[in-house]
Amino acid sequence: MHDPRVLLDPATDAARKLARRGFTLDVARLERLSAGRNAAIRKADESRAEANRLQKSVKGASLDERPAIIEKAKETRAQITLAEEEVKLLEAELNEYLLEIPNLPADELPDGASDADAELVRTWGEIPAVEDPQDHVDLGEKLGILDLGRATKLSGPRFAVLKGRGAALERALSRFFLDRHTERHGYTEWSVPTLVTRPTMTGTGQLPKFEQDLFRTEVADRELFLIPTAEVPLTNLHAKETLAAEELPLAYTAHTPCFRSEAGSYGRDTRGLIRLHEFSKVELVRIVDPARSRAELEVLVGHAEAIMQELGLAYRLVRLAAGDIGFSAEYTYDIEVWLPSQGTYREISSCSDFGTFQARRAGIRTKAKDGTRGFAATLNGSGLPVGRTLVAILEQGQQPDGNVRIPEALVPYTGFDTLTP
């Protein structure tokens, strides 16, 4: 969420920046709402000042003067009530528009609006030479670890059932991710709810824009949403709080199920584990000093990359184009893993710097020892999604004899180093 004064400041160049991501800023509307709200606040303040003056003048007034002063005070109190109602209405209208405006993309991002416009930062690992590669669905079914038919029977399309060593591998991956992030990378693990309120979803930017992408439930007139990522509850742990600036950065992680309706993705990745309605993921969230947010993003990306490297998975890191970053982001890296069956790299982790955008929406403030106050910056990234990592392990680890080799780092967690048909 933005400060309207910043958006209207010519130095911010907000209209140009937002145009890079395909959003047209209605400057006239913003000016009208902001000016109207400010005028209503001034009117309410002036009426309060007049009411205070009249209250004081009653004490020194004569008996003949008092009735008129008291009547004037009643009229002024009525004006205060009207002015306060006007402030509320205009404030609500202004905030409703501000909630629709995405974050300003960083100038360093390349132009463009698709993954084809992303800028390559680096590659890691040797692309495995796989003759006649099979995709993860065929591999999973031959190995006896994946059952999409029964998943569809249970829940419909875009769900998956893993069994036997497949379920064990899924469990091993989540434990491996959490151990590395907590023991080596300094993250505090949390166990958080997967059902959250509308204000919680609004705080990180999922609402109001992406309501169609969310699963919503209402029981006994209580509205709750299933989280699309642990970013939502982890970031909002500090909603409406003031954090000591010297205690930053805060580094949090959680393993949760995630739920997405994939409303705009019909026809894309309908086969297998890449795009499901329910999947599990280990998320990384950092709450930091805004002056250090970009440096902290490099730290976070490094933690996700360390997992990829320890698993021995070939990948590349790209910087997303200004028109392809998420609604709340101002700067995003994607880690893309090589999938032999597709002969290309596919996103496995998205790591973003949100600046103070989410903190303003959620009310996450900071206070320094010298009394200086402000908003925190927030960052998040996948560290990693369990399903897509499993896909990459199956495809990059497939052998000519039909077996799949398990990364050495996972063997202490799985108890086996090979999946066999």
Residues that are catalytic: 260, 275, 347, 350, 388
> Is 231 labelled a binding residue?
yes
Whole-angstrom Cα distance, residue 87 to residue 93? 10
State the DSSP string of 104-147: PPPTTSPS-SSGGG-EEEEEESPPP--SSPPPHHHHHHHHT-EE
- Please give the distance of CA 47 from its chain centroid, rounded to a whole number: 42
CB 333 within 8 Å of CB 320? yes
The structure tokens listed for 291 are 């002056």
Based on the number of CB atoms within 10 Å of its own CB, is 36 exposed (0-12), middle (13-18) or buried (19 or more)?
A: middle
- Phi/psi at 108 (nearest 5 deg)? -70, -15
> Is 62 labelled a binding residue?
no
Angle between helices 136-143 and 386-396 (to 10 degrees): 80
- The closest alpha carbon to 127, from 318, 419, 406, 395, belongs to 395
> Is 191 labelled a binding residue?
no
List the beta bridge partners of residue 352: 332, 380
Whole-angstrom Cα distance, residue 171 to residue 335? 22
Whole-angstrom Cα distance, residue 145 to residue 159? 14
- The closest alpha carbon to 23, from 117, 93, 105, belongs to 105
> Is 283 labelled a binding residue?
yes
> Is 347 labelled a binding residue?
yes
**Quick one: DSSP state of residue 5?**
H
> Is 80 labelled a binding residue?
no
Helices (H), 184-292: 198-203, 231-236
- Phi/psi at 263 (nearest 5 deg)? -60, -35
Whole-angstrom Cα distance, residue 202 to residue 216? 14
List the beta bridge partners of residue 287: 250, 378
> Is 348 labelled a binding residue?
yes
Based on the number of CB atoms within 10 Å of its own CB, is 219 exposed (0-12), middle (13-18) or buried (19 or more)?
A: exposed
Question: Cis link prior to 207 (omega < 30° from 0)?
Answer: no
> Is 260 labelled a binding residue?
yes
Whole-angstrom Cα distance, residue 228 to residue 216? 11
Cβ neighbour number for residue 188 with a 10 Å cutoff: 12
- Phi/psi at 249 (nearest 5 deg)? -85, 155
> Is 174 labelled a binding residue?
no
Helix H or strand E segment including 178: helix 165-183
Q: Which residues are annotated as a binding site?
A: 229-231, 260-262, 283, 347-350, 380, 382
- Binding-site members for ATP are 260-262, 347-350
- Would you list which residues are annotated within the binding site for L-serine? 229-231, 260, 283, 380, 382
